Amino acid sequence: MDEKDSKNNPLHGGLLKISDKLRRLERKLRRKEKPEDDPDVKTADYSDEQLCRDLSGRIGRLLRLLPGPGRKREQPAPVPAEEAWKATGESVVGLAHRRGTTPLPCQDAHAIGNKSRLILAVCDGAGSAALSELGARRLSEGTVRLLTSLEPLLRALLDQNLTCVTEHILAEMVHRHAAGQLRDLAAEFRRAPGDFKTTLLLFVSGVKFGFWLKVGDGEIVEEKKNRLFRIGTSYKGEYSNETVFIDGQLRFEQVQYGLRDMKNVTGLALMTDGAAERLVSYDGRNIAGRLSDYFQKLRGEKLSREDLYKFFTDPGAWTGTTQDDKTLVLGARKI
């Protein structure tokens, strides 16, 4: 290909655009109108080989201008103590699982991360899946571990609101990771991924935004200005026990996710459908005031897992329900 043909192909045009963008970025980093070692050149007259050399030189100069290992990077300001999150949660086997000649284990699981930010995960294993309790436990713990390792990405999206990261990218990463974890379990136990299928509820807090994700039923509730709001839908089908699961067949279009403004948010609750029977109405319009009481006690460090256990095992509180497994995970803070 001669020089004239080279300049007319799409690759050449792309190289020109990258060169121009890098030139502008370099000037911003130097905080000058024009770098001393960057005289005006007409890159449009460059051949492909000259453009590649130009790009290589620009990238090298940009790397030297960016913070290096020996320079201190700006650290985020610590969260004031009164805004730090308190968190607790409990999972209890339902009476329906203790009936019959072969009692079933609790197929709910939850995990909490509360170091650099609050991360809450809740899973409800499918009753029809042989080893769903293993899938629920692996997925809840693994999802919190994944998001803890993605702290730089979360900081960009939820604290700094940088456009280089989107909630769609984060949701797709969680979805792919969850499916991969079930495939790993299937390989480990020589079973089908569907034998470990489970729902997933997730909330990750940030300075500006909170990220939420739902696969299947269960509820996510936030407290804001002393009011309770339901996040997402229950995603139930035609029948009350019909929902979707992470099972190796789940399509990304079936994943609900989004960002929430964290200003004035003082409480978060994630629960499986077994606990939601007494805490959130089927249509989501009515939310039990018990959650507000729990948030208030948790902020004052007066709520324990034992309190949740007593509520879940109180026979009178669950009369007329399905007696399914119950999980409730709470986060609360003072503002």
With cut-offs at 50, 70 and 90, classify the pLDDT of residue 162.
confident
Predicted local distance difference test score (pLDDT) of residue 318: 95
- Mean pLDDT of the 169-177 span: 95
Number of domains, the chain: 2
User: Which is higher by pLDDT, 44 or 163?
Assistant: 163
- Mean pLDDT of the 31-48 span: 48
Range of the domain at 307: 81-332
What is the distance between the alpha carbons of residues 136 and 124, in angstroms, rounded to a whole number? Answer: 6
pLDDT of 141 over the 70 cut:
yes
With cut-offs at 50, 70 and 90, classify the pLDDT of residue 165.
confident
| 264, 226: one domain | yes
User: Which is higher by pLDDT, 174 or 74?
Assistant: 174
Q: What percent of the chain has pLDDT over 90?
A: 64
Q: What pTM, to 2 d.p., does this model score? A: 0.76
For residue 103, give the 3-state DSSP assignment. Answer: coil
User: Which is higher by pLDDT, 240 or 235?
Assistant: 235
| 243, 144: one domain | yes
For the chain, what is the largest distance between any 2 Cα atoms, rounded to a whole number of angstroms? 85
74 assigned to some structural domain: no
pLDDT digits (tens, 9 = 90+) for 251-290: 999 999 999 999 999 999 999 999 999 999 988 899 999 9
pLDDT of 80 over the 60 cut:
no
What is the distance between the alpha carbons of residues 22 and 5, in angstroms, rounded to a whole number? Answer: 25
8 A C-beta contact, residue 201 and residue 214 = yes
Predicted local distance difference test score (pLDDT) of residue 164: 80
71 assigned to some structural domain: no
Average pLDDT value for the chain: 84
CA 34 to chain centre: 42
Predicted local distance difference test score (pLDDT) of residue 242: 66
| 182, 314: one domain | yes
Predicted local distance difference test score (pLDDT) of residue 32: 44
- Mean pLDDT of the 300-314 span: 96
- Mean pLDDT of the 173-194 span: 96
| 54, 121: one domain | no
122 assigned to some structural domain: yes
Cβ partners under 8 Å of residue 183, min gap 6:
193, 248
